[in-house]
Structure 1
Amino acid sequence: MNAIPLDQASTLPASSVALLRHPPLLLYIASRTLSEFSYQVTTVAVGWQIYALTGSAFYLGLAGLVQFIPSALLVFVAGHAADRYDRRRIVQLCELTQGLAAFYLAMRLFMGTLTAPEIFAVLAVFGLAGAFESPASSALLPAAAPEGMLQRATALATGAWQVATIGGPAVGGLAYALSPSAPFALMAVLSLIACGLSGLIRVERVAPSEHESVDGLFAGLHFVRSNPAILGTISLDLFAVLLGGATALLPIYAKDILQAGPWALGVMRAAPAVGALCMTAIIARHPIARRAGLRMFQAVIAFGLATIVFALSQNIWLSVIALAAMGAADTISVVVRVALVQLATPDTMRGRVGAVNFLFINASNQLGEFESGMAAALLGATPAAALGGLGTIAIALLWMKLFPVLREVDQLE
């Protein structure tokens, strides 16, 4: 459940708009928004192409696995690199890599020679780039924000990211309807622009920390393990979405169950982000003041219930509403999780702790897609999605027993 990828809670006072006059922050938000938008544009095309070439739910799930494996193997190295080297250059290199990989897909698809193995190879490249980009970009934000304004700066970046998440799939669906290669060409262009903007960010260079042993690679993991509340909330996110990753089955629902087309897939892809954005606005106006841990568990249960509604739906608009409800419930959980991480993480460990967080997020999303694809291949899409929702509810109830300290978290400040 990862509607918000940055390590801060989302609140957006009106005065925060003035922060956009700060050039480093403006460039940071612009580059991150374009990078996320470019990736989201291709989510529709990738899913549709894989299903068109293979007709297999298993291969839809495999798309998540091939992105997860490289990130899982290198995530600790990536976090260590983000704490020791120029974070801007890491982000730039990752955006350049993604842009070139997307350009390759666009050319092969335009020529009519693209194969499923090529798509999976490029997805692995995306996973590799994302493993290094996420912790570096997350750790870069404090340097780009004006001193003492990190909370508001993060809220602006989060809002822009959500807009990209909403608009990207919808634009991708329309672009695919015009030409199957168009979404990948658009991703290539936007990724290269984001790369250029990242290079223009001017921040005070943070001196690398002292030389560390190999144990330093795993310092973020040790930090998370030593905090039961943080471990509980991150692992809850992992297992809940691992079981409730019904979004991997959206191409099947759009084409076979709801009998719609790429436009419907794009709308459904965007629906969770719409719900997340609405819930962000509500929390900004009425923040979680008390019993935050219990509210998070309730949100996870609501996420599971919405997943079941989506699984059983035979109407496109009911499906969209259920997906939006999933995104809204997800946001509550995310706000609690990132607030706990924010309060406890020292600046010198932002990269490594961010890498652990990224690993859990990727595991929940991409392995969740693999699990959903496998279950759908064995049971069918509807039973797989419904059982996933039930599993999410069961995990939430179990975690309430296993992590009482998390359930008892009261205030987030």
Structure 2
Amino acid sequence: MSPMPTSPLQIRDFQLYWCARFAAVLATMGMVVIIGYQVYDVARADYGMSIREASLMLGLLGAFQFVPLALLTPVAGWTADRFERRTVARIANAIDMSVALGLGLATHLDLLTLPLLFTFAAMHGVARVFVGPAMSAITPNIVPPALLPKGIALSSIAWQSASVAGPALGGFLYAADPALPYWTATGLMLVAILCLTPVKRVVPPPIEGHPHPIRQMVDGLTYVRRHRFLLGAITLDLFAVLLGGATAMLPVFARDILHVGTEGLGLMRGAPAIGAALVAGWFAWSPLKNNVGIKMLWSVAAFGLLTILFGISKNFGLSLLVLAFLGAADMLSVYVRSSLVQLHTPDQMRGRVSAVSGLAISASNELGELQSGLAAALLGPVGAVVAGGGAAVIIAGAWSYLFPELKRAKTFDPPQDVLANTLMQEKPA
């Protein structure tokens, strides 16, 4: 009888999953940073737009990515709970690989227009909506419950380290050849697909309740709405990042405020991930154990304050440092929220609940870009970032009173009903 693993990295399937996640995120982050820069640059250079008008185009880019996410999230969650999750993730990555290939060809042939970039952004949104719930639901099935917080931290390291390298790599590759980031992303997506292939099949348990697929999709939303803890944790991230995110404005800061070009943009996009990766690495080594809920709320408030500081900074070095601390604060929030959401959800609901969580994350990111673009058109990019940071601080305070369940979360121990449900499913027939 083989000894029980003490780390997720001792589990072969998790090793392969980690590599797949790293490769896919590295590809995606390198690709997304260039799409944003190209939209802003094309709007300024080819369409003759002003800074505020081009900033609005960045907001529309987020909207084009969000629409398929909003429409398909119930389908994606149901798919992750109905079909073999590894296969769903591979197909979604294949769609994203086709997006990278198409963007590479369009860039190489100098065929880029705003409508074409928006179309590819929407296709990327389709891929993301399916890959998120499937990949999130795989981890609890290949990692024992006792190791799940460590597994989530290690998975976050894959995400955050790739988020560090991806934007910087994309920026430097773009400087060498504008199409090169997309060719590289195509190859990395293929690596992710190949890494997922040997992972054991992850077949979700039978979906309980109403047999109709539409009703099963709605059940995920209903489950979150009825469980105030899940609702509070998910909406905290939704509204804080929706109002406080500065990512959408980074191309503006890189091109017209800090004047650092695509190389500087890549470093700015990677800086938050450096702070996040360091925090995730620490939690993988020494998991957070006590007062997890209140620490999540304070981290959101810190995220907002650091966003304000970034907005008023005129020094590139200081901006990078602030972004790194901002990423660290965000990682603490994500680490706690992801662990609590997974551990408070029974396995047969994880795909659909992960889809709801993914929709909230996507809404906060993509709709946050739209909000930032609209705010920048009215207040200018600096005013939009500062106002958004202040709103995030207010959200953290408000949620501590609207959802006192969050403050009362002391540890990562799953509730007794979820634990009993999980143990019952793990019993041999």
Q: Same fold (TM over 0.5)?
A: yes
Q: In structure 2, what is the equivalent of residue 115 of structure 1?
A: 113
Aligned pair 1:28/2:27, yes or no? no
Q: Distance in 1 between matches of 2:83 and 2:288?
A: 36
Amino acid in the other structure paired with 2:330: D
Quote the Cα distance in structure 1 between the aligned partners of 2:84 and 2:293: 36
**Distance in 2 separating the partners of 1:141 and 1:289:** 20
User: Matches of 2:124 and 2:38 in 1, distance apart?
Assistant: 17
CA contact (8 A) 2:36 2:58 kept: yes
Which structure ranks higher in relative contact order (CA pairs < 8 Å, sequence separation ≥ 6)?
1
Residue 121 to residue 206, structure 1, CA distance change in 2 (3 Å): same
CA contact (8 A) 1:28 1:144 kept: no
Task: Flag the 1:175–1:339 CA change in 2: closer, same or farther, 3 A.
Answer: same
Q: Which amino acid aligns with 1:271?
A: A
How far apart in 2 are the matches of 1:180 and 1:274?
25
Match runs of 1:49-198 below 5 Å: 49-55=38-44, 56-145=54-143, 149-198=147-196
Q: Aligned-pair distance for 1:206?
A: 4.5
Matches within 5 A, 1:371-386: 371-386=371-386
The alignment status of 1:38 with 2:36, answered yes or no, reads: no
Q: What's the CA shift for 1:236?
A: 1.2
**Relative to 1, partners in 2 of residues 1:409 and 1:26: Cα closer, same or farther, differing over 3 Å?**
closer
Question: Residue 335 of structure 1: CA displacement?
Answer: 2.2
* Other-structure match for 1:406: 406
Residue 264 of structure 1 deviates from its aligned partner by: 0.7
The alignment partner of 1:366 has SS state of helix
| TM score, norm. by length of structure 2 | 0.88
- Unaligned runs of at least 5 residues, structure 2: 45-53, 414-429
Identity of aligned residues (%): 42
Corresponding residue number in structure 1 for 2:243: 243
Which segment is superposed worse, 136-145 or 69-78?
136-145
Partner residue in 1 for 2:358: 358
Structure 1 residue 47 corresponds to structure 2 residue 36: yes
Among candidates 2, 10, 14, match of residue 19 of structure 1: 10
Give the partner amino acid of 2:35: V
* Counterpart Cα distance in 1 of 2:148 and 2:61: 35
Q: Deviations over 1:74-114 (max 9, x none)?
A: 10111111111121221111111111121111111111111
CA–CA distance in 1 between the matches of 2:260 and 2:233?
A: 37
- Cα distance, 1:30 vs structure 2: 1.6
> Aligned pairs, how many?
398
Partner of 1:5: none
* d(CA) in 1 for partners of 2:239, 2:377: 21
Deviation at 1:407, TM superposition (A): 2.3
Give the drift of 1:192. 2.1
Preserved contact between residue 85 and residue 208 of structure 1 (Cα < 8 Å): no
Q: Structure 1: which 5+ residue stretches go unaligned?
A: 1-13
Deviates more, 1:331-340 or 1:58-67: 331-340
Q: How far is the alpha carbon of 1:198 from its aligned partner?
A: 2.2
Cα contact 1:19–1:153 (8 A) shared by 2: no
- Contact 2:89 2:135 (8 Å CA) reproduced: yes
Deviation at 1:17, TM superposition (A): 6.8
1: distance between equivalents of 2:375 and 2:204? 47
The aligned counterpart of 1:218 is 218
Residues 300 and 393 of structure 1 are in contact (CA less than 8 Å); yes or no, is this contact kept in structure 2? yes
Residue identity matched to 1:107? L
**Does the CA-based 8 Å contact 1:228-1:406 persist in structure 2?**
no
Distance 2:203 2:153 in 1: 24
Partners of 1:331 and 1:137 lie apart in 2 by: 18
Q: How does 1:317-396 map to 2 (within 5 A)?
A: 317-396=317-396
Q: Quick one: distance in 1 between partners of 2:130 and 2:260?
A: 37
**How many Å apart are 1:378 and its aligned residue?**
1.6
8 Å CA contact 2:150–2:284 kept in 1: the answer is: no
Moved more, 357-366 or 330-339: 330-339
Q: Which amino acid aligns with 1:185?
A: W
Q: Would the alpha carbon gap of residues 343 and 144 (structure 1) be closer, same or farther in structure 2, given more than 3 Å must change?
A: closer
Which of 200, 203, 217 is the matching residue for 1:202?
200
Q: Distance in 1 between matches of 2:195 and 2:359?
A: 26
Q: 1:156 to 1:321 in 2, by over 3 A?
A: same
Local SS of the residue matching 1:200: coil
SS at 2:197 equivalent: helix
Local SS of the residue matching 2:178: coil
Distance 1:143 1:114, change over 3 A: same
Distance 1:83 1:98 in 2: 21
Q: Which residue of 2 aligns with 1:277?
A: 277
Verify the 8 A CA contact 2:133 2:351 in the aligned structure 1.
yes
SS at match of 1:157: helix
Q: Counterpart amino acid of 2:194?
A: G
Whichever residue aligns with residue 245 of structure 1, its letter is G
Partner of 2:309: 309
Instruction: Output the CA distance in 1 between the equivalents of 2:225 and 2:368.
Output: 23
Structure 2 counterpart of 1:7: none
Alpha carbons 2:85, 2:203 under 8 Å: kept: no
- Alpha-carbon distance in 2 for matches of 1:97, 1:18: 29
